[in-house]
């Protein structure tokens, strides 16, 4: 009985991982049902991936964001993609790294859960994520990747509708951090 369970679990783990992809490119060029934006609490744009997404989407995105009245850290909001190849943009606000003792891991995990909850609500199948919080917000890449992979595996196990989760690595360090996290059980 235990063996059967273990075999099933192993099969599920492989199946879920086959739906996770790593890529090194600009997220604004990705044609997915949704791309995720690493935003700030105002949702009114900024630097990094946020700036790139707003530039590529055009002014319609900022206009829609103005109507959202911001977003607390760990939560997520969804808008249309405007001039982006992606249909939707999910804006989430990651924690600023303050040494790891201010609830950062839980807040970062909550970002992924909030995104996956919207994804499930809207029945989306392909989602691209940047490495939330690991740029200006200073979250250590390996720890952030471990959280991203853990929450993604959980979402894939719970939502059979998900076809592909793409982690967009903007540099080699980020790609290596995800590869390491994926190699862990
Ligand atoms: N495509 C994919 N990934 C990117 C791109 C891109 N075009 N540009 C940067 N990255 P960051 P944060 C990577 O700083 O740390 C903004 O000003 C980048 O290399 O964009 O969550 C917001 O308004 C890094 O790995 O977001 C907030 O104020 C990752 O995206 C603040 O930055 C996240 O880096 C949020 O900081």
Q: Percent of the chain, pLDDT > 70? A: 91
123 CA distance to ligand 1 centroid (A)?
Answer: 26
Q: Which domain holds residue 67?
A: 38-183
Number of structural domains in the chain: 1
Report the first-to-last Cα separation within the chain, whole angstroms: 22
CB of 37 within 6 A of ligand 1: the answer is no
Q: How does residue 3 score in pLDDT terms, banded at 50, 70 and 90?
A: very low
- Give me the CATH number covering residue 105: 3.40.220.10
Nearest to 152 by CA among 120, 176, 104, 121: 120
- Quote the CA–CA distance of 155 and 122 in Å, as a whole number: 14
| 10: pLDDT strictly greater than 90 | no
Residues 56-62, mean pLDDT to the nearest whole number: 98
Ligand 1 atom nearest to CA at 134: 15
- Atom of ligand 1 lying closest to residue 141 CA: 25
50 is catalytic: yes
8 pLDDT band (50/70/90 cuts)?
very low
Token pair recorded at residue 42? 């105002």
Nearest CA to ligand 1 atom 8: 49
Q: Which two tokens stand for residue 9?
A: 């679990």
Catalytic residue, candidates 17, 26, 33, 50? 50
Is residue 26 a part of any domain in this protein? Answer: no
pLDDT confidence of 43, banded at 50, 70, 90?
A: very high
d(CA 33, CA 17): 19
- Residue 174: inside a domain: yes
What was the pLDDT predicted at 16? Answer: 54
Asked whether residue 142 is assigned to any structural domain, the reply reads yes
The chain-wide mean pLDDT, for the chain, equals: 93
Q: How far is the CA of 8 from the centre of ligand 1 (A)?
A: 38
Residue 27 within any structural domain of the chain: no
In a domain, 59, yes or no: yes
Rounded to two decimals, the pTM is 0.93
Do residues 81 and 89 make contact, with C-beta atoms less than 8 angstroms apart?
Answer: yes
Decide if 161 is inside a domain: yes
Q: Does residue 16 sit within a domain? A: no
Residue 52 CA: which ligand 1 atom is closest?
7
Does residue 19 form part of some domain?
no
């Amino acid at each position: 009985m235990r063996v059967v369970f273990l075999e099933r679990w192993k099969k599920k783990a492989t199946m879920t991982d086959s739906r996770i992809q790593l890529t090194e490119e600009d997220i604004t060029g990705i044609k997915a049902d949704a791309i995720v934006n690493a935003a700030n609490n105002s949702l009114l744009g900024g630097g990094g991936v946020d700036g790139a997404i707003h530039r590529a989407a055009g002014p319609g995105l900022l206009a829609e964001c103005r109507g959202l009245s911001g977003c607390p850290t760990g939560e997520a909001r969804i808008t249309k993609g405007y001039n982006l190849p992606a249909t939707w943009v999910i804006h989430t606000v990651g924690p600023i790294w303050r040494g790891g003792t201010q609830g950062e891991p839980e807040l970062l995990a909550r970002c992924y859960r909030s995104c996956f909850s919207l994804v499930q609500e809207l029945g989306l199948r392909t989602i691209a994520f940047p490495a939330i919080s690991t740029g200006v917000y200073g979250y250590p890449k390996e720890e952030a990747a471990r959280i991203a992979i853990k929450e993604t595996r959980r979402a894939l196990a719970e939502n059979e509708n998900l076809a592909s989760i793409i982690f967009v690595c903007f540099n080699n360090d980020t790609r290596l951090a995800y590869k390491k996290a994926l190699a862990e059980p």
